Structure 1
C-alpha cells in the first residue's frame, strides 16, 4: 500500500496520484509558496499553516524531480538538470 500524506488543507493524498504535467506541478508548487507567504504576512500570522504549505510545495518539487529521473531512466532525454 502506498503511503499517504496530509496536505495543508487537511486532505489526505495517496502517493500513487495521477501524474501531472510539469507545468501543473510547477503551478501547484508556486500556489503553495504563495499561500505560505500569505499565512505569514496576513494579520493572523499562522506559521503552522505556512509550514504545511511549504511542505506541500517541496512535495510538488520532489514529484517534478521524480518525473525527470523516471524519464531520463527510460532512455528519453530529460529537460531537468541538476545544479
Structure 2
C-alpha cells in the first residue's frame, strides 16, 4: 500500500509553501512605555502584539476554500498566527 500526500492529515498549525515571514528589514528598536528599548515593526499596528505586549511574528497566509490553508506543508515550521 502506498501513502500519498492526499492521505496525510496535516495539522492546522503547520506552515505551508507560499507563506513567508515578514522581512527583518521591517523591524526597528524604539523606546517602549516603560522607557526601555523595545523591538517592533516600523508600521506596527494593534494586532502585532498580544495583551501582554509581546510582539508576534508577521507571516503571510494562503487561505483557500472555506479559509483553510493551501499549499504543500512545510512540516518543520509552525505558522505563528495559527
Larger relative strand fraction? 2
* Normalised TM-score (structure 2): 0.25
Larger relative helix fraction? 1
